[in-house]
Amino acid sequence: MSGLKFIDEFRDPALAQGLAAAIAAEVEPGRDYRIMEFCGGHTHAIQRHGVQRLLPENVRYIHGPGCPVCVLPGARIDAAIHLAETHGAILCSYADLLRVPGASRRALGQCRDVRTLYSPEEVLSIARDNPEREVVFIAIGFETTTPPTAVLVKQAQAQGLSNLSILCNHVLTPAAMTAILDDEDSAIDAILGPSHVSAIIGVAPYRPIVERFRTPIVIAGFEPLDVMQATLMAIRQLNAACAEVENQYTRVVDEQGNRRAQALVDEVFELRETFEWRGLGWLPGSALRLREEYAEFDAERRFDIPSFESREPNSCECPAILRGRKQPHECRLFGHGCTPETPLGACMVSSEGACAAAWSYGP
Amino acid sequence: MSRVEAAHGAGGRAMGRLIDELFRQAFDNPLLNAGDDFAAFEVPAGRMVMSTDAHVITPLTFPGGDIGALSVHGTVNDVAMSGARPLYLSAAFILEEGFSLEALRVIVESMARAAREAGVSIVTGDTKVVPRGKGDGVYITTTGVGVLGEGINISGSRARAGDRILISGPIAEHGVAVLAAREGLALGGELRSDSAALNGLVEVMLAGLDNPDRLHCLRDPTRGGVAAALNEMAAQSGVGMRIDEALVPLRTEVAAACELLGLEPLQVANEGRLIAICEPESADGLLAAMRAHPLGEQAAIIGEVVGDDPGRVALRTRLGAERWLEPPHGEPLPRIC
């Protein structure tokens, strides 16, 4: 399979050693470089390939909130469970969402009829095959997964499916980056921008963030060598006291992004005033919902869903960890009640979360 | 009578016919044909080994195997991982009312073929029928007994610092093939389960050693994959282990499927591979013996046992960095992005 040959090139040990040496030569001793990789895909690549251990001690990755499963608040899980229990709905979702506990401490996987999806299109056939049941797709993800949901809604409309609705939890990367940097306690020197999200939204949306906070953003590919090269670019900016948006992932990402996908999303979705994030709280303009024209497919308009509260455990340090102020092992719950088997906080929920990664792969 | 009915488990004529026309014909051997509720057989003096395994799998048939062959391979391998020569199996079937008798015949014949190829006989069994909706078609539990040769002392608790760690072939083939078949994923490339009986391979491995006591541990890395098997043995033996990712055999198609699904190949199930841990002086000879067997052609030395970090397994990644290799938490789930 030629695709994997392409992957091997981005995991070449000799090139990795070369990049590690270049980074070691570039860093100024006595200065800390706290670099947040925003996206869970990057967190996974860093941990799985051991990238952190190839770098000097004063270059430290801070695992960001870019894991949609992690940041989904308990209240939204409880809303989905409510739809299953009160309306007998078939819940459809992606696999790793099933383990996430709601504020009620129950998880979706415990509902009676939950279907695991590999593609949102499968929802259409589930709805067709169960005309007497309500079918709810728990839509989740950053800008990458939003266009497929838009396609799904349009297909459902075209096929006249009247038993299908979407519990929309699509969130926006730039809003979350802004919220993290806007915190006066934020301890982040530079950000590695996401790969796939940037393929959709392009480079432009990051410029206002860089201008406002003077924090460099380097858009990086998902492979370990991409991450290392982007890290080197970020360190060079910091040493030169620059703050720009740079694009390491030029083989996929361009200035304007995917215009067709953007138009599709704009046609189907509109901005929410505010949305709750596990670990970050309520963030203005940080999520999408269906436009009025598609209200019949919006589970929140279709059903009367009571408002649930997302109570997070008192001593959970996720908010500080997500802002780079604390490391997972500094949380009292880490390994004591909060483990990948029994996650309590956002960062332990998915394998891409900062705490789950630290637990599984070592600090 | 083309479907399983409640009467097939009721002890009367229907059950008798099912046993005579299906199970006895397929498994055909004097101990079973005696028609008793037990099998009595001679055994040589020495130690015996016994193991049991329940098999539930969706789908019942997948590229490279089915629940029938798997139920033989699983138990034969569990017995063989002691170094013993498996001899006899028992088989208990839990059938769901309404299950196709033709499909059952295919499964039973596959079981019989797998047993013949592994050189074991299915000598006693049981059948129960559960109401429609209370089972996934068919569950099969098999129990195996085997005899252990002189001087063989294999256990997950015998790994010692300095020992070498070997694997018999490419990993993650079973888990990926079954996941792709279950979810109807068209991933491209050939994905086939590695389901196979490993007793023949174990036999040539032991025969190639000047002293069988040099082979310390054997384990088939089934659920939880290589990561789970190594962590179990590291904990049992109170030792650490170091594995080199670049040395672990992995076919390109399987690696690509794992990339797409966000699965860690080292945590994915195998049904026809074994991990061997032996004294360092015997490693090259053991490797050569494995490679001379059809099921070990791509065998490799993948790491070693160390004295530090007892109970933990460290992985040297392809990039040359080290990290912990943890067993999976629950069922491996595809990641969302």
ipTM confidence: 0.77
Q: Which segments of chain B have a pLDDT < 50?
A: 336-337
A319 touches A288 (CB < 8 A): no
CB proximity A98 to B under 8 Å: yes
Residue B335: its pLDDT value, please? 52
Among B246, B255, B317, whose Cβ lies nearest the Cβ of A50? B317
Q: How far apart are CA A280 and CA A173, in angstroms?
A: 13
CB proximity A48 to B under 8 Å: yes
Confidence of residue A2 (pLDDT cuts 50, 70, 90): very low
Count contacts between A and B (CB, < 8 Å): 97
**A140-171 confidence digits (pLDDT tens):** 999 999 999 999 999 999 999 999 999 999 99
Q: How far apart are CA A108 and CA A110, in angstroms?
A: 5
Among B189, B264, B319, whose Cβ lies nearest the Cβ of A224? B319
Q: How far apart are the first and last CA of chain A?
A: 34
Residues in B 271-300 with any Cβ partner in A closer than 8 A: none
DSSP 3-state assignment of A170? strand
CA distances from B238 to A72, B176, B215, B258 (A): 40, 31, 17, 31
Q: Which residue has the tokens 């969706």?
A: B58
Among B183, B259, B319, whose Cβ lies nearest the Cβ of A13? B319
Residue B103: its pLDDT value, please? 95
A281 beta partners: A277
Residue A11 CB neighbours (<10 A): 18
CA B10 to chain centre: 32
Give A-chain residues touching B321 at CB under 8 angstroms. 49-54
In chain B, % helix, strand, coil (3-state, to 5) comes to 35, 25, 40
What is the token pair recorded at A255? 């200035």
What angle is formed at CA B295 by the lines to CA B289 and CA B300, rounded to 5 degrees?
60
Q: How far apart are CA A192 and CA B332, in angstroms?
A: 28
Q: Which residue of A has its CA nearest to B327?
A: A360
Residue B262: its pLDDT value, please? 80
CA A221 to chain centre: 15
Q: How far apart are CA A203 and CA A138, in angstroms?
A: 29
Within A40-163, strands assigned E span: 59-66, 90-94, 114-117, 135-141
CB proximity B182 to A under 8 Å: no
Q: Which residue of A has its CA nearest to B190?
A: A1
Residue B147: its pLDDT value, please? 96
| A360/B329 touch (CB, cutoff 8 Å), yes or no | yes
Among B319, B330, B337, whose Cβ lies nearest the Cβ of A341? B330
Residue B1: its pLDDT value, please? 52
| B329/A16 touch (CB, cutoff 8 Å), yes or no | no
Residue B235: its pLDDT value, please? 97
Residue A147: its pLDDT value, please? 96
CB proximity B183 to A under 8 Å: yes
Q: How far apart are CA A356 and CA A236, in angstroms?
A: 30
Cα distance from A194 to chain B (closest Cα, Å)?
11
Cα distance from B251 to chain A (closest Cα, Å)?
10
Find the range with the poorest average confidence among A33-37, A217-221, A341-345, B286-290: A341-345
Cα distance from A184 to chain B (closest Cα, Å)?
30
Give A-chain residues touching B335 at CB under 8 angstroms. 40, 44, 95-96, 350-352
Residue B336: its pLDDT value, please? 47
What is the token pair recorded at A82? 């409510």
**Run of H or E residues at A277:** strand A274-277
| B323/A1 touch (CB, cutoff 8 Å), yes or no | no
Alpha helices in chain B (DSSP H): 13-18, 25-27, 30-33, 67-80, 101-118, 173-183, 199-207, 225-237, 252-261, 283-291
Say if residue A3's pLDDT is above 50. Answer: no
Residue B184: its pLDDT value, please? 79
Q: DSSP secondary structure string, A281-337?
A: EEEET-BEEE-GGGGGGBHHHHS-PPPP--PPPTT--HHHHHTTSS-GGGSTTBTTT
| B333/A95 touch (CB, cutoff 8 Å), yes or no | yes
Mean pLDDT of chain A: 91
Residue A156's nearest CA partner among A114, A122, A203, A198 is: A122
The secondary structure of residue A72, as a DSSP letter, is: S
Residues in B 209-248 with any Cβ partner in A closer than 8 A: 246
CB proximity B330 to A under 8 Å: yes
Mean pLDDT of A262-272: 97
Give B-chain residues touching A50 at CB under 8 angstroms. 317, 319, 321-323
What is the token pair recorded at B302? 């993948």
Residue B331: its pLDDT value, please? 62
Strand order in the sheet with A245-247: A59-66, A33-39, A190-193, A217-219, A245-247
Residues in A 309-328 with any Cβ partner in B closer than 8 A: none
Mutate to test the interface with B, among A351, A352, A355, A359 (most CBs of B within 10 A): A351
Higher pLDDT, A100 or B15: B15
Q: Which residue of B has its CA nearest to A50?
A: B321
Among B185, B326, B337, whose Cβ lies nearest the Cβ of A141? B337
What is the token pair recorded at B8? 């097939």
| B336/A95 touch (CB, cutoff 8 Å), yes or no | yes
Mutate to test the interface with A, among B231, B333, B336 (most CBs of A within 10 A): B336
Cα distance from A41 to chain B (closest Cα, Å)?
7
B324 contact partners, CB below 8 Å, separation of at least 6: A360, A361, A362, B312, B313, B314, B315
**B222-279 confidence digits (pLDDT tens):** 999 999 999 999 999 999 999 999 999 999 999 989 988 888 999 999 999 999 999 9
CA A37 to chain centre: 11
CA distances from A309 to A93, A103, B14, B48 (A): 21, 7, 58, 60
Higher pLDDT, A99 or B110: B110
**A246-260 confidence digits (pLDDT tens):** 999 999 999 999 999
